[in-house]
Amino acid sequence: MPARALLPDRSDEPTWLRPAGCNSVLKYTGDPALQREIRDEAAAYFERTGIARDGGVRMLVKSLIIVAWVVTTYLLMLFVATQTWQFILLAFSMGLALAGVGFSIQHDGGHGAYSAHPWVSRAAALALDAIGGSSYMWHYKHNVLHHTYPNVEQVDDDISQAPWLRLSSTDPYFPIHRYQFVYSWLLYIFMTPKWLFVDDFKRLFTQRAGPRRVPPPTRRGIATLVLGKIFAYSWMLVIPLSIHGASWSMFGLYVLIAWVWGVAMAITFQLAHCNDTAEFGNWPGEGKPMEMGWAEQQIATTVNFSQGNPVLTWYLGGLNYQIEHHLFPKVCHIHYPGLSAVVKDVCERRGVTYRVQPTMWSALRSHIGHLKRMGAAA
């Protein structure tokens, strides 16, 4: 496998990315030697082990397990559950299962890492549309903005949750942020409903992801979004409500599913990016390049956590190996544990800090510490 295929080509950044007040795209400077060495060592790893960078049969089996989890939970909720405690347990199951679809199927598909066959990866990416999101909008918000400029304030829309949360120093400060380490967990109730019913349409009509412009939607992009929403709204809302009827109990069930789903998704991202050890970068100003090289930026702004937990790694789709994911977004997540040793070794040789939280709980404490620090008076 050519070494260059492992790392994204950052020599030509997307020309449509225009930070407010800036007439040129953001460029990375720095020594590209680190990026080249990581790329070459990773290529040697795959050549030495004889494994392909895609997921192969392992991903197909894993995907079937997760889809079966969603379908089984759904059918039990529709036709079997009768007691409140049963619906509560199934709500937790559904929230976690839907997050799992995003972590392990859609995410790899959206990055083109799911399969060696591009059409299979594209099909896997459509799993997001099946659960109410938009793979079309996700590509620009996540693949282009977040992965090209992680934790770059005013550019990376994933760290912009103002005014509700203050996750970076450039976000406006309000006194209520002093308590965001407490109330943020309740706000996650609104994360997925807002995403499913508001955000995708807002981005479609405004052609913006946060403050950044995105390209005009194609006919295929619009059709995928609309048809996906119709499908998701049908199985999520129309069918359950036609069987169980509209009631406060059903409303409570939806709220619980949304909260579990939102918490699972939010903390997976925030434990890796919004914590006391990950670095944040500022937009350097009009016509000025970023201070770090691309690879240095990916490593400095991401933190791995709970690497020794195979169950968590399986469920999160390897997203507790965020450093490897950011360096190798087109490599299937099942290879991240193996690649982590390669990346860590290169970092140690070059004196680059490789950040790891040993457990999920230590990562959670670090994230809460970050929320407290950002919530202190500016």
Kindly provide the b/e burial profile for residues 129-163, where b requires at least 16 CB atoms within 10 angstroms of the residue's own CB: bbbbbbbbbbbbbbbbbbbbbbbbbbbbbbbbbbe
Kindly list the distances between the CA atom of residue 338 and the CA atoms of 60, 126, 200, 342, in Å, as whole numbers in the listed order.
Answer: 20, 28, 35, 7
Residue 305 is classified by DSSP as E
- At residue 337, the pLDDT reads 96
Structure pTM? 0.90
CA 130 from centroid of its chain's CA atoms: 17
Give tens-digit pLDDT for 35-82: 999 999 999 999 999 999 999 999 999 999 999 999 999 999 999 999
Please, what is the average pLDDT of the chain?
89
Q: What are the backbone angles phi and psi of residue 28, rounded to the nearest 5°?
A: -100, 140
Q: Give residue limits of the domains in the chain.
A: 3-375
Kindly list the distances between the CA atom of residue 195 and the CA atoms of 43, 351, 373, in Å, as whole numbers in the listed order.
Answer: 37, 40, 27
- At residue 161, the pLDDT reads 84
CA 255 from centroid of its chain's CA atoms: 22
Q: Which helix (H) or strand (E) holds 39?
A: helix 33-49
User: In the chain, pLDDT over 90 holds for what percent of residues?
Assistant: 70
Give me the DSSP letters along 345-372.
Answer: HHHHHHT----EESSHHHHHHHHHHHHH
pLDDT score of 171 more than 90: no
How far apart, in whole angstroms, are the C-alpha atoms of residue 130 and residue 109? 13
- At residue 284, the pLDDT reads 73
Higher pLDDT, 162 or 329: 329
Strand partners, 212: 209
Whether the CB-CB separation of 124 and 112 falls below 8 Å is answered with no
CA 222 from centroid of its chain's CA atoms: 22
pLDDT score of 11 more than 50: no
